[in-house]
């Protein structure tokens, strides 16, 4: 099967984890920043998280290097454009990219400039390639909460014009949802859709809480609903789609191996699952690779692949018009 040619949808992809290594080198030169190395292979190896990460936190240590060059409007615009370009060139037809605007203020950029730059890069790629997209604004759970509403306010200007949703990301502790209820509510009141990273490193209860307390319509990963009947039933009953990211899930030890990933079991049992990259560079992957790996490991038929593609369309935070276009790719 030619996985490259299949139409694909990626609903869970981080901007800062998907930067081309060569772009890091170019931008560092331009910004007169010193890098640990100027060799593209070296930079690549510093960015890719090992298969043997101890946990999610070790995986998350790989983001400092890309973030160091993502502190200007030009850099953010370029990286956004290149990510959509890379995805379009492997037949990704729709891509939702997320990033944490608060991580891009080290050199004095304002939130609106940061979000605007990301959106402009995406729109430039949309004009040039057969791809559509949207942005999701992530809040890092470990950061001070005093500027969360500022991110939501700045993003509101772009709602429906490139920004669609609110997310919580970063290190996952048990019970984190309780602290974020008013922020998720504020985002929903402003018109943001909600997806939350949960059940990746933390337990199934986090997934339950993300849906019940934060109004999550989708869950980033959600692996640990396996073994948590309440969370499992809630996800199924409320048709919450899981954004699984198989390679990343192996790296962060959300699963012990691809063979033990619950993606196929969930799908067979009627849990809505989607296949995504998480981080193209940090997880050293593409949508083609993720689809190939899952289809090979679990012997998925083309029909099953398109069932999953349809789940992605149904649960995308896209306009009806874009969804109609995406459904045209079904055989």
Binding site for Zn ion (CB under 5 A): 278
> Smaller CB distance to Zn ion: residue 91 or 247?
247
Return the residue nearest Zn ion (CB atom).
278
Using CB under 6 A as the binding rule, whether residue 203 contacts ligand NOS is answered as: no
Residue 258 phi, psi (nearest 5): -60, -35
Tell me how far, at minimum, the Cβ of 299 lies from ligand NOS, in Å.
26
146 among annotated binding-site residues: no
Size of the site for ligand NOS (CB under 6 A): 18
Task: Give the C-alpha distances (Å, rounded to integers) separating 263 from 49, 257, 274.
Answer: 22, 12, 8
Using CB under 6 A as the binding rule, whether residue 193 contacts ligand NOS is answered as: no
Using CB under 6 A as the binding rule, whether residue 70 contacts ligand NOS is answered as: no
Q: Rounded to 10 degrees, what is the CA torsion of 68, 104, 74, 163?
A: 140
Closest CA to 272 of 322, 229, 222: 222
Tell me how far, at minimum, the Cβ of 180 lies from Zn ion, in Å.
16
Using CB under 6 A as the binding rule, whether residue 202 contacts ligand NOS is answered as: no
Known catalytic residues?
Answer: 200
> Smaller CB distance to ligand NOS: residue 15 or 326?
15
Tell me how far, at minimum, the Cβ of 225 lies from ligand NOS, in Å.
16
Dist CA 153 CA 264 (whole Å): 39
Using CB under 6 A as the binding rule, whether residue 84 contacts ligand NOS is answered as: no
Helix (H, G, I), strand (E, B) or coil at 255: coil
Burial (CB < 10 A; 0-12, 13-18, 19+), residue 144, is exposed
Dist CA 9 CA 152 (whole Å): 26
Q: Residue 136 binds which entry of ligand NOS, Zn ion, none, with Cβ cut-offs from 5 to 8 Å by kind? A: none
Tell me how far, at minimum, the Cβ of 320 lies from ligand NOS, in Å.
28
Q: Taking the mean position of all CA atoms in its chain, how far away is CA 67? A: 16
278 among annotated binding-site residues: yes
- String marking each residue 261-300 x if it binds ligand NOS according to CB under 6 A: -----------------xx---------------------
Which residue from 6, 9, 11, 17 is in contact with ligand NOS, where contact means CB under 6 A? 17
> Smaller CB distance to ligand NOS: residue 173 or 268?
173
Closest CA to 247 of 208, 281, 204, 214: 281
Question: CA triplet 74, 124, 82: central angle to 5 degrees?
Answer: 65
- The number of residues making up the chain comes to 331
Sequence-distant (6+) residues with CB within 8 A of 96 are 10, 11, 12, 13, 133, 134, 135, 136, 164, 165, 316, 317
Buried b (16+ CB within 10 A) or exposed e, 234-253: bbeeeebbbbbbbbbbbbbb
Stretch that binds ligand NOS, among 35-43, 56-64, 105-113, 211-219 (CB under 6 A): 56-64
Q: What Rg do the C-alpha atoms of the chain give, in angstroms?
A: 18
Which residue from 75, 119, 125, 169 is in contact with ligand NOS, where contact means CB under 6 A? 169
- String marking each residue 94-113 x if it binds ligand NOS according to CB under 6 A: ----xxx--x----------
150 among annotated binding-site residues: no
16 among annotated binding-site residues: yes
Q: Residue 170 binds which entry of Zn ion, ligand NOS, none, with Cβ cut-offs from 5 to 8 Å by kind? A: ligand NOS
197 among annotated binding-site residues: yes
Dist CA 328 CA 331 (whole Å): 8
Question: Footprint of ligand NOS on this chain (CB under 6 A)?
Answer: 14, 16-17, 56, 60, 63, 98-100, 103, 138, 169-170, 197, 200, 248, 278-279
Binding-site residues for substrate, in ranges, read 14, 16, 170
């Amino acid at each position: 099967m030619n996985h490259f040619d299949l139409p694909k949808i990626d609903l869970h992809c981080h901007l800062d984890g998907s930067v081309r290594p060569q772009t890091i080198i170019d931008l560092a030169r331009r910004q007169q920043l010193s890098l640990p190395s100027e060799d593209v292979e070296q930079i690549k190896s510093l960015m890719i998280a090992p298969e043997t990460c101890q946990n999610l936190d070790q995986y998350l240590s790989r983001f400092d290097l890309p973030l160091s060059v993502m502190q200007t409007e030009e850099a953010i615009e370029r990286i956004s454009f290149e990510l959509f370009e890379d995805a379009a060139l492997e037949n990704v037809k729709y891509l939702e990219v997320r990033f944490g605007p608060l991580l891009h203020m080290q050199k004095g950029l304002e939130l609106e400039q940061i979000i605007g730059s990301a959106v402009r890069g995406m729109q430039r790629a949309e004009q040039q390639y057969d791809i559509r997209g949207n942005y999701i604004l992530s809040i890092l759970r470990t950061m001070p909460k005093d500027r969360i509403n500022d991110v939501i306010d700045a993003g509101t200007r772009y709602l429906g014009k490139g920004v669609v949703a609110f997310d919580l990301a970063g290190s996952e502790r048990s019970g984190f949802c309780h602290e974020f209820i008013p922020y998720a509510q504020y985002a929903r009141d402003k018109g943001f859709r909600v997806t939350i990273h949960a059940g990746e490193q933390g337990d199934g209860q986090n997934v339950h809480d993300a849906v019940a307390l934060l109004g999550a319509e989708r869950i980033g990963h959600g692996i640990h609903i396996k073994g948590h009947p309440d969370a499992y039933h809630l996800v199924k009953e409320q048709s919450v789609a899981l954004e699984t990211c198989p390679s990343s899930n192996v790296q962060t030890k959300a699963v012990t191996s691809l063979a033990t990933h619950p993606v196929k079991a969930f799908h067979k049992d009627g849990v809505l699952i989607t296949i995504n990259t998480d981080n193209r560079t940090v997880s050293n992957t593409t949508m083609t690779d993720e689809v190939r790996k899952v289809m090979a490991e679990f012997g998925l038929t083309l029909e099953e692949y398109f069932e999953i593609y349809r789940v992605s369309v149904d649960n995308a935070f896209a306009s009806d018009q874009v969804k109609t276009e995406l459904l045209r790719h079904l055989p």
